[in-house]
Amino acid sequence: MRQPSCSVCGERLGEPLFTSAGQKSLTSLCRIHPGETNVFACRECGHLQTSAIDDIAAYYDSEYDILVDSEEEDQIYEVRDGKPTFRTEHQVRTLLAKLQFDRPVDLLDYGCAKSSTIRELCRLSPNVTAHAFDVSARYIPFWKKFIRPENYAVNETKPEWTARFDVVTSFFSLEHIPAADGTVRDIAKLLKPGGTFYCIVPNVLSNIADFIVVDHCNHFTSPSLKRLLADAGLELTAIDDHVHRGAFVVVANKPDDSAEVESKASRSEIEHTCGELSSLADYWRNAAAKVRAREMELRDEDIIAVYGAGFYAAFISANMVRPDRITCYLDQNPYLQGRKFNGVSVFAPSELPAGVNTIFVGLNPAHAAAIVADIPALASRALKYFYL
């Protein structure tokens, strides 16, 4: 295996910190991708990265079809008192709390897919003139509904966009791009002096599924983000790891002058982060075996369902010896209910078939028990639960 270089600092990486068992990996769309997942940790800057899948440009142009079935389709961010909050709603609320839009703002949404967050921002903030950029043309029909044709681009940003924007946003896109360092430098060039870069990326230490997502080339940590921004000449304003669960919300500014910006990550912070990443590698090495061990404990008469129709659920089914025993998946997202996941129906929790007595919980282990406990339709049933 050719040892890659860190996509943040360029340091040569050593042997993989983690290699998946077998020739089966999982994508962020919860689909099985052939081949190993090889994950490397950088001891120089604390970054974590995965070997890019073959022909990654073609993958994003033709296979990566996130939420393209309708304009309204969205992902649930959280459910409180039985009421779901969708990710777009939460991201807009967070953006408005972090930045001011009380004057005319030229804004570029970079790697934007449908750009649903900026579409909603424009509805709430008429001062925003939106622009869009992505590597796939499949999202143009969504952009046309709120962005003028001269204000969006596919594959390459427009030359006239250099130093044009007051704000560049990036919502869960940098983790997909192999050349993270070059990408953020390009983003810095698109900003006016004094402009703001605002991005959200997964926090691999709190959103632990991110560790094994094969099409996420980058798994950011606090020290690697500090290095990435500094090397691009951007001054970090904030890295918030609380306001968006399982993610970093990052705000950085382009200085008015060209003075060199220094990374604020200390050696002790980098070493501590590398230790946490090693613990995560141990967790995922054991997780697959844990699923199979619980499966072996099942009786022939047990009827099982999986709670969740996302990445953790896909991990459970991919590591079961007999995934055909899964009767159904349960999810509170109305956009998923009535569909198929891995060829099996997705139901609302209230529609759990009468015979099911065992639930494999496919949710982030940090929040799974609390989420399940807050579902009245399940609380009234005598069910056995398995948590990752």
Q: Are residues 306 and 223 in the same domain?
A: no
Mention every residue, 6+ apart, whose C-beta is less than 8 A from residue 285. Answer: 18
CA geometry: angle 307, 248, 264, nearest 5 deg: 150
Task: Check whether 39 has a pLDDT greater than 50.
Answer: yes
| SS3 per-residue string spanning the chain | CCCCECCCCCCECCCCCEECCCCEEECCCCCEEECCCEEEECCCCCCEEECCCCCHHHHHHHHCCCCCCCCCCCCEEEEECCEEEEHHHHHHHHHHHHCCCCCCEEEEEECCCCCHHHHHHHHHCCCEEEEEEECCHHHHHHHCCCCCHHHEEECCCCHHHCCCEEEEEEECCHHHCCCHHHHHHHHHHHEEEEEEEEEEEECCCCCHHHHHECCCCEECCHHHHHHHHHHCCCEEEEEECCCCCCEEEEEEECCCCCCCCCCCCCHHHHHHHHHHHHHHHHHHHHHHHHHHHHHHHCCCCCCEEEECCCHHHHHHHHCCCCHHHEEEEECCCCCCCCCEECCEEEECHHHCCCCCCEEEECCCCCCHHHHHHCCHHHHCCCCEEEEC
- pTM here is 0.85
Of 289, 308, 325, the one marking the end of a domain is: 289
What is the pLDDT averaged over residues 66-72? 46
CATH of the domain at 22: 3.40.50.150
Of the pLDDT bands very low, low, confident and very high (cuts 50, 70, 90), residue 70 is very low
Task: Check whether 34 has a pLDDT greater than 90.
Answer: no
Of the pLDDT bands very low, low, confident and very high (cuts 50, 70, 90), residue 260 is confident
Residue 233 CA to residue 254 CA, distance in Å, equals 7
Q: What is the pLDDT of residues 273-323, one digit of tens each?
A: 999 999 999 999 899 889 999 999 999 999 999 999 988 999 999 889 999
Q: Are residues 265 and 319 in the same domain?
A: no
What is the pLDDT averaged over residues 21-36? 82
Of 245, 272, 289, the one marking the end of a domain is: 289
Residue 47 CA to residue 176 CA, distance in Å, equals 14
Of 265, 289, 313, the one marking the end of a domain is: 289
- Range with the poorest average pLDDT among 24-38, 184-198, 364-378: 24-38
Q: Are residues 168 and 304 in the same domain?
A: no
CATH of the domain at 326: 3.40.50.720
Provide the pLDDT for residue 67. 45
Task: Check whether 22 has a pLDDT greater than 80.
Answer: no
Q: Are residues 192 and 283 in the same domain?
A: yes
Provide the pLDDT for residue 60. 59
Q: Are residues 12 and 155 in the same domain?
A: yes
Q: Are residues 283 and 351 in the same domain?
A: no
Task: Check whether 18 has a pLDDT greater than 80.
Answer: yes
Provide the pLDDT for residue 57. 61
Q: Are residues 280 and 331 in the same domain?
A: no
Provide the pLDDT for residue 61. 56
Q: Which residue did the predictor score with more confidence, 37 or 69? A: 37
Residue 345 CA to residue 37 CA, distance in Å, equals 28
Task: Check whether 71 has a pLDDT greater than 60.
Answer: no
Q: Are residues 210 and 340 in the same domain?
A: no
CB 215 within 8 A of CB 58: no
Domain that holds residue 377: 298-387
Q: Are residues 333 and 205 in the same domain?
A: no
Q: Are residues 304 and 266 in the same domain?
A: no
- Range with the poorest average pLDDT among 21-25, 79-83, 92-96, 203-207: 79-83
State which amino acid sits at residue 193. P
Percent of the chain at pLDDT above 70? 93
Q: Are residues 49 and 98 in the same domain?
A: yes
What is the pLDDT averaged over residues 79-90? 80
What is the pLDDT averaged over residues 65-82? 59
Residue 206 CA to residue 204 CA, distance in Å, equals 6
Q: Over the chain, what is the mean pLDDT? A: 90
CB 110 within 8 A of CB 133: yes
Q: What is the pLDDT of residues 125-155, one digit of tens each?
A: 999 999 999 988 989 999 999 999 999 999 9
Task: Check whether 73 has a pLDDT greater than 80.
Answer: no
Q: How many CB atoms lie within 10 A of CB 384?
A: 13
Q: How many domains does the chain have?
A: 2
CB 11 within 8 A of CB 42: yes
Task: Check whether 205 has a pLDDT greater than 70.
Answer: yes
Q: Are residues 306 and 273 in the same domain?
A: no
